[in-house]
Amino acid sequence: QSDSGVLAGDPRMLIDGELQLTGSGAMFDVIHPASEQVAGQVTDGTVDDMARAVGAARRAFDTTEWSRDVEFRYHCLTQLHAALERNKEQLRRITVTEVGCPVSLTGAHIESPIEEVAHWAELGRKFEYLEDTGLHDAIGGQTRRLIHWDAVGVVGAITPWNVPFYLNIAETTPALMAGNTVVLKPAQLTPWAGSELGRIVAEETDIPAGVLNVVTSNANEVGAALSADPRVDMITFTGSTATGRAILAAGAATVKRTLLELGGKSAHVVLDDADLTAALPMAATLACVMSGQSCVLPSRILLPRSRYEEGLAILQATMEGFPVGDPWDPSKLQGPQISAGQRDKVLGLIASGIDSGARLVTGGGVPPEFPTGYYVQPTLLADVDPDSQVAQEEIFGPVLCVIPYDTEDEAIAIANNSIYGLSGQVSSADEDRALKVALRLRTGSANINGGQHFGLTSPFGGSKQSGLGRRNGVHGFQEYLELKTLGLPAN
């Protein structure tokens, strides 16, 4: 494999406008998952560094005009958009280096989030922060009421490693444009997507000191300290449901607003009239791109028993021909898992599925041609018990669990048999029928016959234990704002 594109990111945090290393000089390694080699280091921020960052964000919110000056925010985010565009190739190489995602997929990792910055700048500038609702009956006569959308305050943003640059942007820029100040805590495995954002903000924009802080750290306690700090008004988080619960509990003491985008276990309900050759190659592809390391990708396929073997054969053919390999090779769509720990977790879940009676159709192990790098073969498990661990837990690997069903009601019940409710898919020759099934899925979104629910202008998030609140669209922007109602005399 080639390490030719490996690039180190900035080792420094951004606290109160200063790019800095932690006082002790402690650093931690960033590993390139395709080679298992150390690509470089980043500063290992402490709980004290986090406290300073929160203090800076608090001061910037309480003592500057940031939250009241929408034109200045627009200026800063427009500058940030241009700066990210200038640094695009560097950000792309850093992402492939630390995530190990194929360079062919970096449009979604890099280009889309850069565009997202411009989107929030425009949306936030046009947003009506003040609404006059007119006259209302009130005690002793009439009153006039105004509604104002205030910034929430200091927002703590905690991000995971699977699409780190995108999620850093998705969690910080709408919060900033809405007038909040932000402390970002990037994931341990992918600190550079955050530290580079900090460097670009500090060196190439007018975003004032304290408005955006980035604290890299190898310790979960530093994220925990952010989510428990009483000076923080809101936490926005993407990651596992277990960590989401801890963040919710930590915020309870000071009643923090919480926006959580957590795990998923999407089911693809294939109805008996579906065009399998249209639906299933894409389903298998989506299970393997990003090595399955995305919460929205389908991980359970529900096939009607009448077309079960036909469907399995199509899935198997796609998975066996799937382009797995060096993420720097533009012809590959699946690279390694991010770490040895993740690879071992995926292999363990595959083994548990087989133990619980699932049939291994293809894959199931480490590809023999890639002994180095944390690779896992595209894996197809059939006859999966819907209650088994592999059908219930989020795998975050290139693994599809196929479950047979007899009736449409049974398919919907299996799809909904999950603590998660992030996304779903339905395929049918009859769009109305598919729509009716999609409406019965207890999920925050669903795709029908290859349609795409995900987009900057549409709300995205989970029901059940997949999350709280929504990202994207006007709804997603409003999550970072607090309503204030003003009563005035009627005349």
Residues designated as active site: 261
240 binds ligand ADP (CB under 6 A): yes
**Closest CB to ligand ADP among 188 and 418?**
188
In the complex, minimum distance from the CB of residue 233 to ligand ADP, in angstroms, rounded to a whole number? 16
User: Quick check: helix, strand or coil at residue 431?
Assistant: helix
| By CB under 6 A, residue 152 contacts ligand ADP | no
Kindly state the smallest distance separating residue 57's Cβ from ligand ADP, in Å. 16
Structure tokens at 491: 């005349």
Q: Is 422 in the site for ligand ADP (CB under 6 A)?
A: no
When asked if residue 188 is in the footprint of ligand ADP (CB under 6 A), the reply is yes
Please, which of residues 365-394 interact with ligand ADP by CB under 6 A?
none
Around 463, how many Cα atoms within 13 Å sit in the side-chain half-sphere? 13
Nearer to ligand ADP, 200 or 235 (CB): 235
- DSSP 8-state code for residue 444: S
Q: Which is nearer to ligand ADP, 76 or 349 (CB)?
A: 349
Alpha carbons 15 and 22: distance in angstroms, whole number: 10
Number of residues that bind ligand ADP (CB under 6 A): 15
Tokens of 380: 């197809």
Give 125-131's long-range contacts (Cβ < 8 A, gap of 24+): 125/70, 125/71, 125/74, 127/474, 127/477, 129/70, 129/481
Residue from 94, 182, 224, 400 touching ligand ADP (CB under 6 A): that is 224
Contact stretch for ligand ADP (CB under 6 A) within 126-134, 163-171, 180-188, 364-372: 180-188
* 39 binding ligand ADP? (CB under 6 A): no
Instruction: Examine residue 216 and tell whether it contacts ligand ADP (CB under 6 A).
Output: no
- Are the C-beta atoms of 194 and 46 separated by less than 8 Å? no
3 state DSSP class of 99:
helix
The reply to whether 160 sits near ligand ADP by the rule CB under 6 A is yes
Shorter beta-carbon distance to ligand ADP: residue 100 or 304 = 100
d(CA 485, CA 463): 29
Q: What is the 3-state secondary structure (H, E, C) of 238-255?
A: ECCHHHHHHHHHHHHCCC
Stretch near ligand ADP under the rule CB under 6 A, chosen from 220-228, 432-440, 451-459, 466-474: 220-228
Question: Per rule CB under 6 A, is residue 239 in the interface with ligand ADP?
Answer: yes
DSSP E strands: which ranges in 239-386? 257-261, 267-270, 300-304, 359-362, 379-382
The answer to whether the CB of 141 falls within 8 A of the CB of 87 is no
Q: Which residues pair with 471 in a beta bridge?
A: 460
Q: Which is nearer to ligand ADP, 43 or 243 (CB)?
A: 243
Task: Give the span between the Cα atoms of 379 and 19, in whole angstroms.
Answer: 44
Q: Which is nearer to ligand ADP, 223 or 398 (CB)?
A: 223
Q: Can residue 195 be called a binding residue for ligand ADP (CB under 6 A)?
A: no
**Which of residues 109, 185, 300, 470 is near ligand ADP by CB under 6 A?**
185
**Distances, alpha carbon 373 to alpha carbons 38, 96, 229, 315, 475, in Å:** 12, 13, 38, 25, 40
Minimum CB distance to ligand ADP smaller for 285 or for 339: 339
Which amino acid, one-letter code, is at 77? L
> Contact region for ligand ADP (CB under 6 A) — 38-46, 219-227, 327-335, 404-412?
219-227
Question: Which H/E stretch holds residue 322?
Answer: none
DSSP structural state of residue 418: S
Site membership for ligand ADP, residue 293 (CB under 6 A) = no
223 binding ligand ADP? (CB under 6 A): yes
Q: Find out whether 172 and 184 touch, Cβ atoms under 8 Å.
A: yes
Judged by CB under 6 A, does residue 290 bind ligand ADP? no
Interface residues with ligand ADP (CB under 6 A)?
Answer: 158-160, 185, 187-188, 220, 223-224, 227, 239-240, 243, 246-247
